[in-house]
Structure 1
Amino acid sequence: MTANTDTAERHAPASSETPVTADQMIARAEAMVPELIERQAETEARGFYAEDTHERFARNGFYRILVPRRYGGHELGIDTFFRVCVTLARGCGSTGWMFGLGTSHGQVAASIFGERAQEEMFAGGDFICPGTAIPRGTAVPAAGGGWTVNGTWPYCSGSPYGTHFMGHAMLPAEDGKPPTQLLFVAPRSQWERLDDWGQQLGMRGSGSHGITMENVHIPPHLGLPGVQLVQYDATAGTPGRTLHGNPEYGGGPLSFINFLNCSIMVGMAQGALDAYEHLLRERTTLVPPVVPRYLDPDYQVWYGEAVGMIGTAEAALMNGVQQWHDAAVRGPSAVTPDLDLRLSAISRHVATIAWSAVDQIILPTAGSSAIKHGERLERVWRDLSTLRTHAGLSILLPTIAMRELAKSVVS
């Protein structure tokens, strides 16, 4: 079942805006934070952010931050993109996640797909491409070339306003070898969004609906057989680095994805800190001497600890992003799988610190009245708790990625 909110056809083919700076883009995101806070309840009830919010994002140029300039994008880089993600998540975690997961694949598409594919994918200007790294369904070679794809992919965040979908399907085994994966991109006309999101504990407004495809033809230029996104090796260079002359279109994909996940956690932790600061100003201590909480030495310590932890998480995130950028500038040989894993390890601890600041300091000392249904802190805690169950953050990153990092160093 689909809703009637899909708006891919209404996107302008190219931006007529005067080139915008990174600071201007971040300021536009900051200006939207009060509105996103105010509309959190309706976003949860709907299951995704409102169409007028989506249209404002489009006018602000958010959907073009990672799109190459040659296709009407702003090409502002991942630093700006992640700062916008942090800022939007500070206002509403669901909105930040839906935006980030829907838009981030512009970086992937501009990096690893060829020129013909990019001309098609970015023809609409705005690029919103939900995706999943978990392979589902099947891809069978088609008679005239390309593949016929069938399957259903859950948790496709950003799908309500998606212009494309990026997924993995299993190719049949050949010559006694195990089956491989096909990484593909399908335009909006080739898939349906399911009405299957909104009942989770948190992140209810993240637009993480499932996507289904039936007998869809994927032409050769929109499919990459044998490619698994998080294992993509960029050390030999990428089509995007060559095509656009921008080294960031040749950076490590695994750490980029982990930076994205952690940027939303940092933003939500900042939102929790904002709510906590409000409580310190508005509420008093429980026992004499009864004073505003912000004047109490214990609350001052707790607040200072939370500020330091969340600031540390943000600093580590942005330092990791800078290392990622510097390696890309040095050249393909510097974008090693080892570096990708090391930066992913930083991401793991960014997420842990952000979560700990909220779960161990802010939430226990805020009091039970601060987590009544509908309170901002209650919603942030639910969103963070749910994001902690994301397979990439809770299972794959702490286990497989850390083992592979150790093996790459001590083997």
Structure 2
Amino acid sequence: MTTTGLRPLGTVLAQPEPGLTADDFLLRARALRDHLRAEQEATERRTFYSQETHDLLRRNGFYRMLQPRTFGGYELRVSEFYQVVVEIARGCPSTGWCLALGSGHVLPFASLFGPDVQTGAMGADGHFIAPHRMVPSVRAVPHADGWELTGTWSYNSGAPYSTHALGTVALPPGEEGAPRFGIAVVPRSGYAVLDDWGDILGLRGTGSPSLRMENAVVPYGNVREVDGQDPLWAEPVGAALHGNPMYGGRFGGFFFGETLAVAAGIGHAMLDEYRSALLEKAPMWNPHGVRADDAQYQEWYGEACSLLDAAEAVLWRMGELYHAFCEREARGEGRFGPVDDLRLTSLGAQGDRYVTEAMDLLVRTGGSSALRQGARTERYWRDFSAYRTHPATMARPLTARRFAAADLASGRPEAPRGAAPDEARAHHP
């Protein structure tokens, strides 16, 4: 599938609330914080957020943040989307993760699939939630009506309220038995949501169960063959369909940014609790006064703040570079290639390092009572520990080397610098 002959779709659906901006979403996310914190324990026990929370997120437009305006979405910039995810995760890490990975995958969907497939998925009411699984544990074979899918995708964050599922499928082998893979989009009627999530250390409420397909048939256009060297990439068509270069990129770095945004939100949530303790508790070595007046605690607090600010600066830079790469390609000045995607993942790894240092500092200096069972800080530490087991964070030591090797071998000129952060919007009160 190529962009040749494709025309912009125009407006299929109007926005439910015309003109919502990133600032509106940030304000709404902060307004939900008390509700999300009150729901944390129940969300963890249920293994996904409540119907009430889902209704609040849907009514306030959060599922449409990255969705094309064509289908009633708001087309926030990726950097803005990351900021909103930080704020939601600051209220509840599990909810932030589930929202990010459920709503964010409209970006690759709207980029990779043809107009008929997109209209079929989003054209009725614009509501679209889809987890995305990279492991090709589902087999796709030709069928008279398209493709027949059989297998199970595990770790599908966002599945409980999903309308569709995205994932990598194994296609019939090519010449000389060469493996072939594709990305499939499957409607909710084509898979069963299994009850197999929630027995891990943290992030238990992320709604990440397995999805099972038994001879599910989807139309031919619902599967796109991917580049054998990049299982996340096929020639994008979304920039031409939606008139926006952001629907023409690669997605490894974008996915890394989604999880990093949740990690930054966990860091801010832990810092909120740490700050409250500083204003209420006496120093361990001095029974008089409060920790907020003690120089040592001031130093620790200030360092943690700076580390989290650095992580958010990385997130903003990742998002803006994504757009710079997309826009460069739209101008015909160079492809958004694998080296660019590796640059984003390598940058994200540095943001992960900042958040990890901040969390370690806050836990080490917060006192053992901060990890008492049932305390919010204990849940945040468990959630962050679970985040640290994600494949994206485990690959951190490799990302800089892989980017450097690819970049130096390419002989290309320096990549674009992108836009500078908007300090007012980046601020988190």
Query: Is TM-score (shorter-chain normalized) higher than 0.5?
Result: yes
Q: Distance in 2 between matches of 1:362 and 1:354?
A: 11
Residues 291 and 230 (structure 1 numbering): CA distance in 2 closer, same or farther, change over 3 Å? farther
| Map 1:105-144 → 2, pairs under 5 A | 105-123=105-123, 124-142=125-143, 144=144
Residue of structure 2 equivalent to 1:210: 210
* Matched residue SS, 2:302: helix
Gaps of 5+ in 1: 1-12
8 Å CA contact 2:145–2:217 kept in 1: the answer is: no
**Identity score, percent:** 38
Q: Distance in 2 between matches of 1:32 and 1:211?
A: 29
Residues 355 and 15 (structure 1 numbering): CA distance in 2 closer, same or farther, change over 3 Å? same
Partner letter of residue 191 of structure 1?
Y
Pick from 244, 247, 250: which aligns with 2:248?
A: 250
| Map 1:7-406 → 2, pairs under 5 A | 15-123=15-123, 124-142=125-143, 144-227=144-227, 231-232=231-232, 238-288=236-286, 290-332=288-330, 333-359=334-360, 361-395=361-395, 397-399=396-398, 401-406=399-404
Q: Distance in 1 between matches of 2:99 and 2:246?
A: 20
8 Å CA contact 1:15–1:72 kept in 2: the answer is: yes
Q: Distance in 1 between matches of 2:232 and 2:192?
A: 28
8 Å CA contact 2:33–2:88 kept in 1: the answer is: yes
Q: For residues 322-349 of structure 1, give each alpha carbon's deviation from its aligned partner in whole angstroms, at most 9, with x where no partner exists.
A: 1221222222524222111111101011
8 Å CA contact 2:168–2:231 kept in 1: the answer is: no
Q: Distance in 2 between matches of 1:133 and 1:358?
A: 28
Q: For residues 301-331 of structure 1, give each alpha carbon's deviation from its aligned partner in whole angstroms, at most 9, with x where no partner exists.
A: 1001101111111111111211221222222
Q: For residues 191-246 of structure 1, give each alpha carbon's deviation from its aligned partner in whole angstroms, at most 9, with x where no partner exists.
A: 11010111110000000111101001121111012357955557xx6210011110
Q: Distance in 2 between matches of 1:407 and 1:21?
A: 39
C-alpha displacement of 1:72 = 1.5
Q: Distance in 1 between matches of 2:249 and 2:67?
A: 15
Q: For residues 241-298 of structure 1, give each alpha carbon's deviation from its aligned partner in whole angstroms, at most 9, with x where no partner exists.
A: 0111101111231111111111111111111111110110111112235220101111
C-alpha displacement of 1:82 = 1.2
Q: For residues 4-32 of structure 1, give each alpha carbon's deviation from its aligned partner in whole angstroms, at most 9, with x where no partner exists.
A: xxxxxxxxx86432321221111111110
Structure 1 stretch 121-130 or stretch 329-338: which is displaced more? Answer: 329-338
Q: Distance in 2 between matches of 1:120 and 1:364?
A: 51
8 Å CA contact 1:229–1:253 kept in 2: the answer is: no
Q: Distance in 2 between matches of 1:385 and 1:230?
A: 28
Gaps of 5+ in 2: 1-12, 410-429
RMSD of the TM alignment (CA)?
Answer: 1.7
Residues 266 and 305 (structure 1 numbering): CA distance in 2 closer, same or farther, change over 3 Å? same
Q: For residues 92-111 of structure 1, give each alpha carbon's deviation from its aligned partner in whole angstroms, at most 9, with x where no partner exists.
A: 11000001011111001111
Partner letter of residue 277 of structure 2?
L
Partner letter of residue 273 of structure 2?
A
Q: Distance in 1 between matches of 2:248 and 2:355?
A: 29
TM-score (norm 2): 0.88
Q: Distance in 1 between matches of 2:316 and 2:46?
A: 32
Partner letter of residue 97 of structure 1?
W
C-alpha displacement of 1:179 = 1.8
Q: Distance in 2 between matches of 1:112 and 1:311?
A: 33
Residues 240 and 253 (structure 1 numbering): CA distance in 2 closer, same or farther, change over 3 Å? same
8 Å CA contact 1:230–1:253 kept in 2: the answer is: no
TM-score (norm 1): 0.92
Partner letter of residue 368 of structure 2?
S
Larger helix percent = 1
Q: For residues 351-378 of structure 1, give each alpha carbon's deviation from its aligned partner in whole angstroms, at most 9, with x where no partner exists.
A: 121011111x100111111111111111
Partner letter of residue 273 of structure 1?
L
